[in-house]
Amino acid sequence: MTRSLSYWGWGFEDAAIDEGARQKLAMLLSTQMDVSNLSPRVPTAVDALELPASRDLSGAPITLSTAPVDRARHTHGQAFRDVVRALEGDFSVAPDAVARPADETELTALLDWCDARSIAVVPFGGGSSVVGGVEARFRDGVPAVISLDLERLSGVKEVDVTSRAARIAAGTFGPDLEAELAPQGLTLRHYPQSFERSTLGGWLATRAGGHFATLYTHIDDMLESMRVVTPRGVIESRRLPASGAGPSPDRLMLGSEGSLGIITEAWMRLQVRPKHKVSATLAFPDLYAAAEAARLVAQAALFPTNCRVLDANEAMINGVGDGQRSFLLLAFEGVDAPRQPWLDRAVAIAASVGGVVAKGQAPQPTVEVVADEGDDAAQRWRKMFLRAPYLRDGLVRLGAITETFETAVLWCDFPDFHRKVKAAATDAVKRICGSGLVSSRITHVYPDGAAPYFTVIAPAKPGGGVAQWDEIKAAVSDVLLAEGGTITHHHAVGRDHRAWAQRQRPPLFTAMLRAAKREVDPHGILNPGVLM
């Protein structure tokens, strides 16, 4: 059975939450904030969608789709501001057409054709960008825009079992990639929350961060080499385990967000599927105590797969805890041996700074696992983690603002930084929305710092959700930079973070990036306006 994708929100239509679940969400929301002014949003019927007329693309070397629902699905990413605009029927920046090249030959022909006519090309993987990365805001300044959907460049093409790596086409979605590797007992082990609807090419182009909290956190760490098609030719790096031969071509292309070329495939380092998993959950009086435990665990070179801190609100939203205490979720996975001693050591470290193993959630005995094992809280967390985007859409339909922002900062600055960012977000939410909830967690930990992640849920004023969120986001982004953090740890730059990324980046480096772009994309057709 072919499953139908939502044109306005996350994932598959058949997985969206139903009216009953939406009512429960509404009840929950009303216990946390003033929802008297909410205006529920109803998706426009597919046959009533209004899009700007497609401009002339006759003579294109490959078939282009101009079907309204196809163009609508390729208009926005998946941030709150995208979902709201799609729900409200705003497709004013729709691409003129969607192209799906079958192979590199078709892709090159299309790029050449677009290059000769200054037609903009926006690479599109899963379209899960939350930073305006796939959105043609520049539409009116170019002759036409093509959304370049890479879904037909898909599949695991070759596996090198000896070096434990695989050549994988860029348009391969997370679940397909893992399903193809599984029979050989191998895995890429990269699980962003958007795993279900994002692609390898998108992960590489945005330097995505996966679920695992330490060691191999970003997709960068798993890349061996890649192949990129540009309007000026192909760049293919050499497969090597490591190299000191000057600046790395891969490092320039990682995070280039479709502005320097189209990633068509990559050799990715694989791992053997883990057989042993253990986990434990510890409670702390507040987030700062839990963060201190996470710092000590991160610096003990134990490398847990999960070392996630949840503040009291975040824990409650995700069905872990009672809204009073903060939690540290710890998990270890082992390929060749049980990891209980590592877990015991991490629990002892966390207990030494006040962590208490949560009642009824004591570390489980080590088990041979095929599927998810471990303590209840960790399992509830994992389930909520993957279901969250559908719930997010349910809240947006109710008329709420619901969005996240994330960053990273050194441990020496962490407590002060976190307090200031949280205060700025809370103040902005109160000032702009009247009431609301700001919760936070730490998604990744490093020996020298942490990646805090914030969730905002607030009532939107009728017709004002996007503008209200933009104001909150600008207020917190200014504080992130002023207090020494990064504008993004893993959500990428796109168009929404560009102004702050430019402030964060050394100006001379921006000039170098521009020079690189001029070389590979002299007519500026590739995803204009992202990054720089």
Ligand X SMILES: Cc1cc2nc3c(=O)[nH]c(=O)nc-3n(C[C@H](O)[C@H](O)[C@H](O)COP(=O)(O)OP(=O)(O)OC[C@H]3O[C@@H](n4cnc5c(N)ncnc54)[C@H](O)[C@@H]3O)c2cc1C
Residues in touch with ligand X (CB under 6 A): 77-78, 122-130, 133-134, 150, 170, 192-194, 198-199, 201-203, 205-206, 208-209, 257-258, 262-263, 389, 490-492, 494, 527, 530
Q: b/e map of 466-491 (b: 16 or more CB within 10 Å)?
A: bebbeebbebbbebbbebebbbbbbb
DSSP letter at 433 equals H
Name which of 147 and 361 has its Cβ closer to ligand X.
147
In the complex, least distance from residue 79 CB atom to ligand X, rounded to whole angstroms: 7
CA-CA distances (angstroms) from residue 413 to 128, 480, 481, 492? 31, 12, 13, 22
Task: Provide φ and ψ at 492, rounded to 5°.
Answer: 85, -175
User: How many angstroms separate the CA atoms of 121 and 229, rounded?
Assistant: 13
In the complex, least distance from residue 128 CB atom to ligand X, rounded to whole angstroms: 3
Name which of 141 and 341 has its Cβ closer to ligand X.
141
Long-range contacts of 345-350, Cβ-Cβ distance < 8 Å, separation of 24 or more: 345/300, 345/302, 346/280, 346/297, 346/300, 346/302, 346/304, 346/307, 347/280, 347/282, 349/293, 349/296, 349/297, 349/300, 350/282, 350/293, 350/296, 350/297
CA-CA distances (angstroms) from residue 457 to 242, 309, 318, 395, 483? 44, 19, 14, 9, 24
Query: Residue of minimal CB distance from ligand X?
Result: 202
CA-CA distances (angstroms) from residue 48 to 3, 21, 70, 90, 148? 21, 27, 14, 12, 25
Name which of 146 and 350 has its Cβ closer to ligand X.
146
Name which of 51 and 121 has its Cβ closer to ligand X.
121
- The angle formed by the CA atoms of residues 405, 482 and 480, to the nearest 5 degrees, is 10
In the complex, least distance from residue 400 CB atom to ligand X, rounded to whole angstroms: 16
In the complex, least distance from residue 395 CB atom to ligand X, rounded to whole angstroms: 12
- The angle formed by the CA atoms of residues 429, 136 and 81, to the nearest 5 degrees, is 20
Name which of 193 and 426 has its Cβ closer to ligand X.
193
In the complex, least distance from residue 359 CB atom to ligand X, rounded to whole angstroms: 30
In the complex, least distance from residue 324 CB atom to ligand X, rounded to whole angstroms: 27
Characterize the bridge pairing of strands 156-160 and 145-149.
unpaired
CA-CA distances (angstroms) from residue 332 to 56, 303, 309, 341? 55, 8, 15, 10
In the complex, least distance from residue 211 CB atom to ligand X, rounded to whole angstroms: 7
Name which of 54 and 404 has its Cβ closer to ligand X.
404
By the 8 A CB rule, do 494 and 435 touch? no
User: How many angstroms separate the CA atoms of 303 and 214, rounded?
Assistant: 6
In the complex, least distance from residue 206 CB atom to ligand X, rounded to whole angstroms: 4
The length of the chain, given as a count of residues = 532
Name which of 189 and 491 has its Cβ closer to ligand X.
491
Residue labelled with tokens 């985007």? 389
In the complex, least distance from residue 351 CB atom to ligand X, rounded to whole angstroms: 29
Name which of 69 and 367 has its Cβ closer to ligand X.
69
In the complex, least distance from residue 143 CB atom to ligand X, rounded to whole angstroms: 19
Name which of 198 and 214 has its Cβ closer to ligand X.
198
Name which of 347 and 492 has its Cβ closer to ligand X.
492
